Homo-oligomer: A and B are copies of this chain.
């Protein structure tokens, strides 16, 4: 008769042990909240760690704010997209266990840095891995703006090609490459960080001869950068840091590649646009807030410059059919796809996961934004 009892006794002991181990494990597991499924190449980096308890927003859509706030209490780390506001409400909801916020973006306008610093929460982001993708797109938009791609692709997609009245100068715009008629080509960069420099590298074989850039007036070393660039590309006849006015007046292509924020708000305004060459094009692949959309639409309508190619618009994604730039035939508008290549997004997702893991484990983040308290 002992058998029937022995089994339950052993079973009970086993159950207690399992419960203890489970309790031990649970209390030592790091709770991780991820606001978007990062796909089969990246999620295993998190899911395969036994010390992590990973909770992922289950839908294929922007993470619901209520779900987010209800899920993050007790989290050690959270991995977010540009769509999640990281503010005191978020951080208080997560509580004192939170060690790191990892955003899958290079920008951090959605994060309140003071609030993070006050609580000692680290912030990881994903710079560099998208440099080439954005530089590629910057060159693409410079070409598309000059070559009237909105008009020309429209003629085909609207079925007008068969009846189009061709003429020797149909569709013609300014050529990006240098030519016997325009042997000098000048690229102007508002902001001269990695993406600008990668864009410049791509323009060299197009015959660009001059590089102008603006920089943070408080930063040192711009003359060193100019000298380094000049040494790197001997075919350039000039590399200079200039004022915004000079950059507007002299450039054949203006690339807007500076961070967002108050200091750069509407840095490209009516005053800037009025000074541009009539044959110049403007490219914005940084943040929409740097360019005054109404001023740009007016400038294009009145021919102050030739055309524009923009990947970002102030107030995006609320950019509908009635937006003045969507209506301008000389303005190519893309829906913020600067980093949207398989390679770049895979790199960003991987780095965001690595930042999260390092932050949770108390190790140095591969790409940490330094916060000042």
* A residues lining the B interface (CB < 8 Å): 36-39, 60-62, 81, 83, 104, 132-133, 135-137, 139-140, 143-144, 146-150, 152-153, 155-159, 161-162, 164-182, 201-202, 204-207, 279, 316-321, 326, 332-335, 337, 340-347, 349
Q: Contacts A60-B165, A139-B143, A181-B347 known; A342 to B173 CB distance under 8 Å?
A: yes
- In the bound assembly, the distance between CA atoms of A112 and B337 in angstroms comes to 48
A102, chain B: closest CB distance, angstroms: 13
Are A317 and B177 interface neighbours, CB within 8 A?
no
Is there an interface contact between A333 and B137, defined as CB atoms closer than 8 Å? no
Within the complex, the shortest CB–CB distance from A56 to chain B, in Å, comes to 12
> Cβ of A175 and Cβ of B317 under 8 Å apart?
no
A136 B168 Cβ-Cβ under 8 A = no
Q: How many copies does the complex hold?
A: 2
Per the bound structure, the CA–CA distance linking A182 and B132 in Å amounts to 12
Q: Cβ of B140 and Cβ of A147 under 8 Å apart?
A: yes
Assess whether A152 is in contact with B337, with CB atoms less than 8 Å apart. yes
B179 near A343 with CB under 8 A, answer yes
Q: List 5 A-B contacts (CB under 8 A).
A: A36-B167, A132-B178, A169-B342, A171-B340, A174-B343
A133 in contact with B164 (CB, 8 Å): no
Nearest CB of chain B from residue A291's CB, rounded to whole Å: 16
Whether the pair A343, B140 counts as a contact (CB closer than 8 A) is no
Question: Which residues does chain B contribute within 8 Å of A37, judged by CB atoms?
Answer: 168
> Considering residues A150, A152, A201, which has the most beta carbons from chain B within 10 angstroms of its beta carbon?
A152
Alpha-carbon separation in the docked complex, A334 to B139 (Å)? 18
On whether the beta carbons of A319 and B182 are closer than 8 Å, the reply is no
Min Cβ gap A127→B in Å is 14
Would you call A62 and B166 a contact (CB within 8 A)? Answer: yes
Not counting A39-B169, A171-B337, a sample of 13 additional A-B residue pairs whose C-beta atoms are within 8 angstroms of each other reads A38-B168, A62-B165, A136-B206, A140-B140, A140-B143, A140-B147, A159-B321, A162-B317, A162-B318, A169-B340, A181-B343, A181-B347, A182-B343
Complex formed: what's the CA distance from A340 to B345 in Å? Answer: 35
Given A155-B335, A335-B155, is A172 in contact with B140 using a C-beta cutoff of 8 Å?
no
